[in-house]
Structure 1
């Protein structure tokens, strides 16, 4: 028992050290400061029933600085809540803004990839950089200019500057920080940038920049037409075409309030977690390992104390604290909230496991949908 627990603690120590190295050495950090780019940039904003939250996003786009050639192209993707009227009211007669009316996705396409495809193919061909932004993202004034600068400095085809995730509810604090924690802990960032392997890729569609020529070479969103995780799949398509990708901490450039309540958060993760893991056996293996590494130690510590074995309790407590430390490092590196949220990390892993199980269950029953459209 003691030897097995010691081995687990050593694994946790190695993973936490990897988190720290990724966060401290390899994570790109574009700064939000006065910077000028001389390229034509198109910011592409797909909208479907976003009347209640598009205003802050669009206002932040209209106040972008440092990009004289900025154009904003908005697609109303079949909204029924007056989203287009809100866009017109906020944008007024600003010549930089173009509002398009989308068409329903044809067979073989999911809604988000098709909306992005329409935006990219109906944008001024003079734009050399395409910046995809979601309606729940609010950019700082130099965000686009800083992100384009980082894209070129990295020599990348695609750059994903991950926004600071705004958390307000207990559910937010339990689940949302896992996004950054997972890739900082388990993804070798330096190797991801250097390796041509498509399987070694990460990206977030909330704020994503891509070189126009490289996007076309990768097949654009047509290459990921039926993919739930179209952002990650687009990054993989870029790698397959010979391009490079890069991940950055975009917490100084953008913030994102992804979900307003628990049902939205639950359903948002449920629709896509099955696509993250692939086969159910792979998902079961990953979830079991996460539970063993991050949930078992505090349970073992409590059991050991009750049984009067302080050495075992101390080892198990060390494992728990290493997991908490990894969460703290991740939060501080990405603009998140560290305390006291990190103390509940074992509970976060349990919730992630439940959401994963729910995702596979509903997919098997063909009951997954998002924004009124089926996703599987």
Structure 2
């Protein structure tokens, strides 16, 4: 009947959006840069830098993998203990002790209300002597050739920054629903090759879990000192670098690095809560993106439950895109991809919760209150 035509048109438009997203992720999968599997020795000096705060229970595997990097005849490892209140300092000093090229330093406190990571990275960059700086989080485990492969890709492409996106190890229902949306989002929405040089903020992406950057380019854009007020310091840094004329972006790190960010729902909720409010630029931007996500990935599957053919087609398109990106980035395809509408719904709920926490100044991260920052 005619009164249902607007609803059918809305469902059809959502299906078209989901199909377009899946088609774009398929194209991105063919152009995604891959670090070489057998890199040559790196002739320049490379600084391997790891900020840690309250990571005593998980830093061991990550730091051991950093200390064991191969094909790096001229290297240094610097670990910065960012005012940890647990045994992190003792753990990292014990691991670095036998390595002559490694040292541990105690960081200074960041501005009140700041999450502190950008401040920690700024201190590390100030101490580093390499012409290439490699920042690695304490929950990222690297393959032995990971850094050499990433530096080889950085230099062979002429880029100033590469961000090898690690394979995300997601265990438990909450992580399996939400974590794959990280790589799904940029493979679906971001034109990867164009994004490497575009100065537009919306066409910028980087992942602070594993960052490889030319030291001169970092200095010329102001480095982490220019983004200390930012919760998403990795996104702010790549934008600053491109404003200064640099080029860079995300590359495939699924074969050389893996990351387990959160252990369960509570950790995931707090982790996303600290940053989702700023991920889309503004409250209006967050509302617009969440509306599009619901329109494309929730409305058609719901319509399919009521017998809509357009809705069924939209659900198939959504699942196809999720499965394709999972296969390309080393994630689980099945049965996780079938729950993609639920994943998107959870992301929207987490974004709303993050904005509410920001408005009420109740957000915290690793024991630090986050108040007043962008």
> How does the TM-score come out when normalised to structure 2?
0.95
- 1:85 is displaced (CA, Å) by 1.1
* Within-5 A mapping of 1:5-20: 5-20=11-26
Counterparts of residues 39-78 of structure 1 (less than 5 Å): 39-78=44-83
Maintained 8 Å contact 1:31/1:253? no
Could you say which residue in structure 2 is the equivalent of 1:309? none
> 1 CA distance for matches of 2:36 and 2:156?
13
What is the alpha-carbon distance in structure 2 between the residues aligned to residue 261 and residue 8 of structure 1? 32
CA shift digits 1:296-316 (9 cap, x unpaired): 112111123xxxxxxxx2221
- Whether the aligned pair in 2 keeps the contact of 1:32 and 1:140 (CA below 8 Å) is no
Q: Is the 8 A contact 1:198 1:237 kept in 2?
A: no
Q: Which moved more, 1:10-19 or 1:260-269?
A: 10-19
Match of 1:29 among 31, 34, 37: 34
1:360-371 pair list within 5 angstroms: 360-371=355-366
Name which of structure 1's ranges 224-233 and 98-107 shifts more when overlaid on structure 2. 98-107
Contact 1:108 1:226 in 2 (8 A): no
Tell me how far apart the structure 2 counterparts of residues 15 and 160 of structure 1 sit (CA, whole Å).
Answer: 22
Instruction: Quote the offset at 1:34 in angstroms.
Output: 4.5
**Aligned equivalents of 2:115, 2:311: Cα separation in 1:** 45
The separation in 2 between residues aligned to 1:32 and 1:223, in whole angstroms, is 34
SS at match of 2:310: helix
Residue 195 of structure 1: CA displacement? 1.9
Q: How far apart, CA to CA, are the structure 1 residues paired with 2:259 and 2:97?
A: 24
- Could you tell me which runs of 5 or more consecutive residues in structure 2 were left unpaired when the two chains were aligned: none
Distance 1:212 1:324 in 2: 41
Moved more, 56-65 or 139-148: 56-65
Aligned partners of 2:206 and 2:238 also within 8 Å? yes
In 2, Cα distance between equivalents of 1:39 and 1:230: 26
How far, CA to CA, are the matches of 2:94 and 2:19 in structure 1?
53
1:262/1:5 CA distance change after superposition, 3 Å: closer
- The 2-side partners of 1:67 and 1:204 are apart by 23
2:157 is aligned with 1:154: yes
Q: Is this contact kept in 2: 1:108–1:225, CA < 8 A?
A: no
Give runs of aligned pairs for residues 329-348 of structure 1, distance below 5 A.
329-348=324-343
Q: Show the 5 A alignment for 1:1-376.
A: 1=5, 2-24=8-30, 26-106=31-111, 110-124=115-129, 127-304=130-307, 313-376=308-371
Q: Under a length normalisation based on structure 1, what TM-score does the superposition of the two structures give?
A: 0.94
Query: Following the alignment from structure 1 to structure 2, what is the Cα–Cα distance between the partners of residues 265 and 278?
Result: 21
**In 2, distance between residues paired with 1:4 and 1:365?**
35
1:251 partner SS? strand
**Shift of residue 4 of structure 1?**
4.1
Whether the 8 Å CA contact 1:266–1:355 is kept in 2: the answer is yes
CA RMSD in angstroms comes to 1.4
Q: Cα distance, 1:122 vs. partner?
A: 1.5
SS in 1 for 2:361: coil
Q: Distance in 2 between matches of 1:165 and 1:117?
A: 26
In the aligned structure 1, how far is the partner of 2:23 from the partner of 2:112? 46
- Please give the alpha-carbon distance, in whole angstroms, between the structure 2 residues aligned to 1:264 and 1:87: 23
